Amino acid sequence: MKRIVVVGGGSAGVMTAYTLKHRFPKKQITIVESKTIATVGVGESTLGAINNWLGMCGIKDKDFMKHCDASYKMSIRFENFYNKEAGYFHYPFGQPDISGNHAQLNDWHFKKIIYPETPMNDYADSMYPVMALVNQNKITDEDIIPNWTFKGDVAYHFDATKFANWLKKEFKKIGGKVITGSITKINQDETGITSLYLDTQEYIKSDLFIDCTGFKSLLLGQAMKEPFESFENMLPNNSAWATHLPYTNKKKELKPFTNCTAIQNGWVWNIPLWSRMGTGYVYSDKYISDDDALKQFQDYLGRDDLTFKKLKMRIGIHKNLWVKNVCAIGLSAGFIEPLESNGLLSVHDFLSVLTRTLERPVVSEFAKQNFNLRCHTMFRGFAEFVAMHYALSIRTDTEYWRDIQKRKYPLEEKFTMFQSDFQRSHRQRYNDFHYPTAAGINAIATGMHWGATDLSSLMYHRGGADAKVFKNEWLPVIEKLEQKKKQWTQTVKKCPTLYNYLKRNIYI
């Protein structure tokens, strides 16, 4: 596969093209983009795994951040997902610190049993050292707290359109080619797509065509007619309104986390970039019309003088992502929904499998099947992770949330996160979704009151003893948690604020 054509010039297309040109400089990599088709352009939040892709491509944070209005992100904050007015909890990046703990992740749950009034946000504060930075709105590139590294665990907020434009220029610098034109005809035979005909009267031929055309899935979905598997049974939302907000007090509002607030028919994101904030309302048009959702969103924001963009989302994934000589990356392959910043995650995760596959001199049908299976497994696992945010809720204040209470989830299916986590918990003697390297699952489960253990379980295993009996045993354990939390808080006091760090290191 010496010639590869990437169709689509949005963030997924440019990330794909740059990755392939960087990894395979001798291959001819071309982007075909349309002047008339706008990109989605609202993917403004990432997870720490993007550092794996940046490292693979030789890109440093200071290379791109100032070109795309970027800031740093160290956590995701969830508000009112468990119940209306339930308050908030965090999913921090990095790993929990279980050093010196009596029962690894269970130590905090002992505290919750003895002191039931302990708020759920205390879990992240007690178990994740990075929360000392998050709570004080600070950041550091020094390794001064355990189990968190600036290089590996920090993520980014950025303007996706600006990022794609910057990366496109870098792609050209390393020998990539960009053709501007709209596809008017797709020619096919038994091997797949033979050529694309553009409105510029050009024929584009390639050994491999990569579909990065967004939800329309022009090549894989429309031309190859590959079936699409809906995830509507797990995930309730299919629509969104998005807009930009100006800062009123930038030093205060520029936070190192994405904020997600559950409301009547879905949830609202708030993503602080360097010069402004991005916000949007994710909902289901099954329960509310687009116009009423917009009004609901405007009421939430307290203003209607902004420019709002409507998005319709296709939730699920194609049955196969690589068919004959067509492969899909990004929204054209599948999408979960914006919760947990998973849009770009699937792009760079799928690209890791694609580059591995293209290392082989001949890409056999087995290699394509392997690509499909690995990408499906990753995608399905993360979809179920997102579904947890709804499945563990007890909200019943609207029809939307009441219907979520009635949903049945695919716990019985094979190769899924739901099943594997129940099995892990059984093997490691932890209750559902809790184990030391849970990669955020434990933070979400705890925040949604699905504890690693509870008083009933302990009474069963300890012969009927109650919380008073356990108190003397656990007080030293709880005190150790408090000491670590205080130490982390004290350690980061000398660190710069996020605003000052960006001003000093990025926006000089």
The pLDDT score that the predictor gives to residue 422 is 42
**How many whole angstroms separate alpha carbon 291 and alpha carbon 269?**
19
Residue 153: phi, psi to the nearest 5? Answer: -110, -15
DSSP 133-167: HHHTTB--SS--STT--HHHH-EEE--HHHHHHHH
- Coil, strand or helix at 280: strand
Q: pLDDT tens digits for 374-428?
A: 999 999 988 988 998 999 999 999 999 999 999 988 775 544 555 444 444 433 4
Q: pLDDT tens digits for 76-102?
A: 999 999 999 999 999 999 888 888 877
Extract the tokens encoding 406. 């009635």
Residue 212: phi, psi to the nearest 5? Answer: -130, 45
DSSP 360-377: SSS--HHHHHHHHHHHHH
- Domain borders along the chain are 3-71+158-228+318-385, 75-153+410-494
Name the H helices within 326-466.
343-358, 365-391, 399-406, 417-428, 441-447, 455-461
The pLDDT score that the predictor gives to residue 493 is 96
**How many whole angstroms separate alpha carbon 434 and alpha carbon 81?**
19
Whether the Cβ atoms of residue 378 and residue 345 lie closer than 8 Å to each other: no
**How many whole angstroms separate alpha carbon 336 and alpha carbon 411?**
18
Report whether pLDDT(281) > 90: yes
- Reference 9, options 180, 191, 258; nearest CA is 180
The pLDDT score that the predictor gives to residue 425 is 43
Full strand arrangement of the beta sheet holding 203-204: 183-189, 192-198, 203-204
Report whether pLDDT(254) > 80: yes
Whether the Cβ atoms of residue 447 and residue 440 lie closer than 8 Å to each other: no
Extract the tokens encoding 236. 């309730």
Residue 210: phi, psi to the nearest 5? Answer: -110, 120
92 beta partners:
75
Residue 438: phi, psi to the nearest 5? Answer: -80, -5
Which fold would CATH assign to domain 3-71+158-228+318-385?
FAD/NAD(P)-binding domain (3.50.50)
Whether the Cβ atoms of residue 176 and residue 26 lie closer than 8 Å to each other: no
Distance of CA 257 to the CA centre of its chain: 13
Q: Mean pLDDT in the chain?
A: 91
Q: From residue 12, give the alpha-carbon distance in Å to each of 158, 215, 228, 363, 370.
A: 14, 12, 19, 22, 21
Average pLDDT over residues 486-500: 97
Report whether pLDDT(449) > 70: yes
The pLDDT score that the predictor gives to residue 453 is 78
**How many whole angstroms separate alpha carbon 52 and alpha carbon 49?**
5
Report whether pLDDT(213) > 90: yes
Distance of CA 377 to the CA centre of its chain: 16
Average pLDDT over residues 107-134: 94
Report whether pLDDT(24) > 50: yes
**How many whole angstroms separate alpha carbon 155 and alpha carbon 65?**
11
Count CB neighbours of 45 within 10 A: 28
> Residue 104 — very low, low, confident or very high, per pLDDT cuts 50/70/90?
confident
Task: Report the residue count for the chain.
Answer: 508
Report whether pLDDT(471) > 90: no
Whether the Cβ atoms of residue 101 and residue 480 lie closer than 8 Å to each other: yes
**How many whole angstroms separate alpha carbon 473 and alpha carbon 338?**
43
The pLDDT score that the predictor gives to residue 440 is 80
- Coil, strand or helix at 444: helix
The pLDDT score that the predictor gives to residue 340 is 87
First to last CA, the chain: 43
Distance of CA 412 to the CA centre of its chain: 25
Locus of tokens 């670590």: 484
**How many whole angstroms separate alpha carbon 294 and alpha carbon 310?**
9
The pLDDT score that the predictor gives to residue 436 is 46
